[in-house]
């Protein structure tokens, strides 16, 4: 194992052009960092392997014959790397100059920080969800109340409700306008699109759970870190571009995948009874919102994106199908 440095683990599956941009941005931000880049390719057929070999020969490439899923690929990448710090980075990201130095300095300057995430923005500068609280019936109930209050009476009462409930205002899509992306704050989890940690944390809490195929594995891993007494921190002064999730269809599908992962996570950490309650509350909340959408449409106030919002709520109502029961 190397004494210092940063191992960047990137999982790729048929994102050649995005991966090229990601790797190019890393080359431009290295500075004085000792950087090891590992790309685990999940059986791509779009020329990703040839591109990395020809354009980025210094990158350590781990080609797989099939799509292993995100968690298993990350575990392979971490096991094959050797630096003291480890960064999980999506292939559809662009890392600006100075970002790695800022985040590495933050972790090294705070020995109690075991996991660090940063601010994610799309290509137009719109802030994306990159951290949050662990799913629970309590937090979900209040977050739904926050959304209703925000739409009905504005942000003031929402902030008051957050204070009295103890449920922080996290960057959910429907509450994003209340989220201040700047600053440093302790959170329950940060996104695996940019997750910086120490190798010793992996050695203590174990690898990513490969039962999570896509989405949820980062939240699950942060849950285990928090349970072990580790600190998970959101660092808003560092920002990267995250291309993923730009279209409305992609947003709906992404929402449903995240909720599916939350059910799987709930089943793992809270047991069958609490999971059944959680699923029921999810379905009830979706039904109420769906009813509101239909009524608004009936009186001519449906707004834009009606079909996608209906698809999202219907998807949540039928979420229990096809999920593990833990």
Alpha carbons 240 and 96: distance in angstroms, whole number:
6
Tell whether 14 is covered by a domain: yes
15: in domain: yes
> 1 in a domain, yes or no?
no
Query: Is 147 in the same domain as 223?
Result: no
Answer whether 191's CB lies under 8 Å from 120's CB. yes
Q: Residue 174: inside a domain, yes or no?
A: no
| Same domain flag for 163 and 183 | no
The verdict on residue 146 lying in a domain is yes
30-34, 245-249, 300-304, 318-322 — most confident range: 30-34
Alpha helices in 91-237 (DSSP H): 99-109, 137-152, 155-165, 199-205, 217-227
Q: What's the mean per-residue pLDDT of the chain?
A: 84
Please state the rounded mean pLDDT for residues 306-311.
Answer: 77
Q: What is the pLDDT of residue 280?
A: 79
Name the β-bridge partners of 60. 38
Residue 152 to residue 137: CA distance in whole angstroms: 22
Supply the pLDDT for residue 72.
Answer: 95
113, 142, 169: which is the final residue of a domain? 169
150-204 pLDDT, tens per residue? 777 777 788 888 888 887 777 776 667 777 888 899 999 999 999 999 999 999 9
Same domain, residue pair 24 and 81: yes
Confirm whether 277 is domain-assigned: yes
Angle, CA 208 vertex, CA 204 and CA 212 arms, to 5°: 150
Same domain, yes or no, for 64 and 213? Answer: yes
Cα separation, 222 vs 214, in Å, equals 15
Say if CB 231 and CB 114 are below 8 A apart. Answer: yes
Residue 102, pLDDT score? 94
pLDDT digits (tens, 9 = 90+) for 228-274: 999 999 999 999 999 974 334 456 666 777 777 778 887 787 778 87
Same domain, 85 and 53: yes
Pair 60, 118 in one domain: yes
Predicted local confidence at residue 251, as pLDDT: 65
Q: Please indicate, yes or no, whether residues 97 and 145 belong to a single structural domain of this protein.
A: no
Please state the rounded mean pLDDT for residues 289-312.
75
* Mean pLDDT to the nearest integer, 32-41: 94
pLDDT of residue 49: 97
Structural domain that includes position 159: 134-169
Count of domains observed in the chain: 3
Q: Is residue 97 part of a domain?
A: yes
Tell me: do 199 and 300 sit in the same domain.
no
Instruction: Summarize pLDDT for 82-125 with one digit per residue, the tens.
Output: 999 999 999 999 999 999 999 999 999 987 999 999 999 999 99
In a domain, 17, yes or no: yes
Of the candidates 150, 169, 188, which is a domain's last residue? 169
pLDDT at 265: 80
Q: For the purposes of burial, counting CB atoms within 10 Å of the CB of 207, is it exposed (0-12), middle (13-18) or buried (19 or more)? A: middle
Q: Quick check: 38 and 108 in contact, CB under 8 A?
A: no
Is the pLDDT at 80 greater than 70? The verdict is yes
CA-CA distance, 310 to 218, in Å (whole number)?
Answer: 28
CA distance 217 to 214: 7
């Amino acid at each position: 194992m190397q004494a210092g440095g940063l191992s960047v683990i990137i999982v790729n599956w048929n994102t050649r052009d995005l991966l090229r941009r990601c790797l190019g941005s890393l080359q431009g931000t290295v500075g004085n960092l000792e950087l090891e880049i590992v790309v685990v390719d999940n059986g791509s057929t779009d020329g990703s392997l040839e591109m990395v070999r020809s354009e980025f020969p210094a990158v350590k490439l781990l080609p797989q014959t099939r799509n292993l899923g995100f968690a298993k690929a990350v575990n392979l990448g971490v096991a094959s790397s050797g630096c003291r710090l480890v960064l999980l980075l999506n292939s559809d990201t662009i890392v600006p100059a100075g970002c790695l130095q800022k985040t590495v300095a933050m972790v090294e300057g705070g020995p109690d920080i075991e996991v660090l995430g940063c601010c994610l923005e799309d290509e137009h500068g719109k802030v994306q969800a990159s951290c949050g609280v662990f799913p629970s019936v309590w937090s979900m109930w209040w977050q739904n109340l926050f959304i209703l209050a925000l739409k009905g009476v504005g942000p003031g009462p929402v902030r008051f409700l957050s204070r009295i409930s103890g449920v922080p205002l996290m960057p959910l899509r429907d509450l994003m306008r209340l989220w201040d992306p700047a600053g440093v704050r302790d959170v329950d989890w940060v996104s695996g699109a940019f997750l910086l940690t120490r190798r010793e944390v992996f050695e203590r809490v174990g690898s990513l759970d490969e039962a999570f195929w896509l989405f949820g594995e980062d939240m699950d891993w942060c849950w285990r870190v928090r349970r072990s007494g580790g600190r998970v921190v959101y660092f808003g002064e560092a920002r990267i571009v995250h291309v993923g999730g730009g279209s409305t269809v992609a947003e709906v599908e992404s929402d449903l995948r995240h909720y599916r992962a939350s059910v799987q996570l709930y089943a793992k950490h809270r047991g069958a009874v609490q999971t059944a309650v959680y699923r029921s509350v999810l379905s009830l909340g979706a039904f109420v919102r769906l009813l509101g959408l239909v009524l608004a449409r009936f009186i001519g106030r449906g707004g834009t994106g009606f079909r996608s919002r209906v698809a999202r709520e219907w998807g949540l109502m039928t979420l229990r199908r096809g999920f593990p029961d833990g």
